[in-house]
Structure 1
Amino acid sequence: MKVLAAMSGGVDSAVAAARAVEAGHEVVGVHLALSRMPGTLRTGSRGCCTIEDSMDAQRAANIIGIPYYVWDFSERFKLDVVDDFIAEYSAGRTPNPCMRCNERIKFAALLEKALSLGFDAVCTGHYASILTDADGNRELHRAAAWAKDQSYVLGVLTAEQLEHAMFPLGDTPSKADVRAEATRRGLAVANKPDSHDICFIPDGDTRGWLADKVGAAEGDILDRSGNKLGTHPGAHAFTVGQRKGLNIGYPADDGKPRFVLEVRPKTNEVVVGPKEALDVSELAGSKYSWAGLGPLGAEEPFDCDVQIRAHADPVPATAQLRDGELVITPREPLGGVAPGQTAVVYIGTRVLGQCTIDRTVSAVPAPVA
């Protein structure tokens, strides 16, 4: 097959590209330029996709012996990931930009261009597996090493995208094995640190970055009964489940810490309350998709596991399609679930699908005013 290897400049994508070559595929490497800030370097940066990363990717491609290109996806990335991130926070939601990047850049824009150029598949260094059922349908599954499993951030992939996706690292027992393999192959990125945090906020100061983009206006901090407890510098700086930075100045009546329960961007209000009020008994989203074939009879409740963060543990739940939403009911209440997060549904190791959370139902009713 003709395979386009997305090379971030890290060790995972480099080894994935090398494995695709060894598997007998005709491989071309490509690095996605996602920023129009040509002076960005890794010094002091905790993201990815810097100039240094593109150079690392090119050196790896040279050693592997494959053609290498840099494609400018910066405009698409700004519109589909960065602007979406700003809009979601402005709406009081907590987005996951990695999900949007996988959905709209790596497996939409990139795959679309790859197919138009005659490639059969896009290869990435994600830790996930693609299996085929008895009828030849492709399914997305967890990686062999759950500690490194990245199937959660791939939960947005559709059946068509899975047909053209390749994850050569899915069966690798550990990241240490990938680094050791890179060393054997003579790849200079063997010991390169993993990228983390949001790539377009390299200093990690999300609050400051958002304040610069959307502005900050003082608003009220309220309890669940609507009583004013204090003020805040801007609602966009808060997320559901947050404890630090409230600066209310005096304890709750019971002496326990308070947490952000709700962000109301229209009124610029932040609602706080006890930790137990973060527990939700139901979550739902109208923007849902299936990673492969969807379940039969999904209008009736079916057993599954749900995962609401990339590094969270899956929890038993039931799910069903109801009134245009994917409605998920965990067996035990989930804590700190925020609108805008992604809920990924599993059956065993298989990623069944996902939804962007629009609403939640608290397991602890608000007190009657």
Structure 2
Amino acid sequence: MTGEGDLLHVVTSDEITPARRALGKTLIWGSFGVMVAAFLILGLAETGRIAMEVQNWRPALYAYLFWATCLCIAQVVLYGEKGKRTLFILPATLFVVAMVIFPLIFALGIAFSDWNLSSPDGRKFNGLDNIRQMWGDPFYWNALKNMVYYTLAILVEYAIAFGLALILASQIKARKFFRVAFLMPLMLSPVAVSWMVGKSMMEIRFGPLARLARWLGWDRPSFFGDPEMARAMIMMMDAWTYIPFMMIMLLAGLQAIPKDVQEAARVDGASGWRGFWEVTFPLMLPVSITAILIRIIFKLKLADIIINVTSGGPGGATDSVTSFIFREYRDRSNVGYGTLLAIVYLVLIVVAITVFMKLVDRWMNPKY
């Protein structure tokens, strides 16, 4: 028999009458109809299909809040005590929908429109014109190509971070000091790094690195005049900022490896380089994949250093997609075209990360 204490965890089913069930369905579908009607009227007014002046989309927000409230009330009306349990997660779900889905739909509307903030005509629907402009935009494709270079540089950053983590995991003198010292670049913002290194130390007239280059025989040092060198300098500054992040993750993974596993490997003759490849590196794969994936996400947002140091120059050679989109908004006030570029970039990121995770899963879990 069930004890009295267990009754606290039993949800009794309320008796739902037909009238109560009809009231709940009316609340849901009635409020949903009001919301759809509000969105439809505002959309038709926005596109000029009906003669109605629309100041903003605030009525649509009110209609959504009305539907969300009725939906929550209807859960209790339709399901009684079980419906109250739904209220623990339903408001949060509706909030996420409001903060993610609706802005994305609004962004899609902007992406297929001609909206330049410097134009007095306002926003106008232009169909696929922005896609055609993107397809023929060499600067955008150049920015995408640069992102491939920037992302591939993560492999070098990973190798450096792994080497530093191995050094800090060993029994060296002043190990704690070096751990703090190596983490200092991560404590600085990319904006500070761009001004401290790119704008000050690499300044072609009075910067200490420029003076050192002249002392070594480089007559006219220009770190950002040549496209290839400028891109390399951007990579170096970004790497200097974020290598400590990968290093600290890999160091934590190295310290989590059981000592008895390493000792058993040394007893079996797997010491030095062989022990690293056959024992340490395979055990570190999950941490390594996580560190690389997070670093890729950070790299795909690269913009701060580029905007402050080169503004994408020379001739767009250092542009990332994010910095290019930023300049479309700031310099050209081209909201419609910039939004389309951002959405396309988002789709490319989702596809690339999904493919990357699939390949990693196949590599780490092969099916025979």
| TM-score over 0.5 (shorter chain) | no
With structure 2 as the length reference, what TM-score do the two structures score? Answer: 0.22
Q: Quick check: which one's helix share is greater?
A: 2
Higher relative contact order (CA 8 A, sep 6+): 2
Q: Quick check: which one's strand share is greater?
A: 1
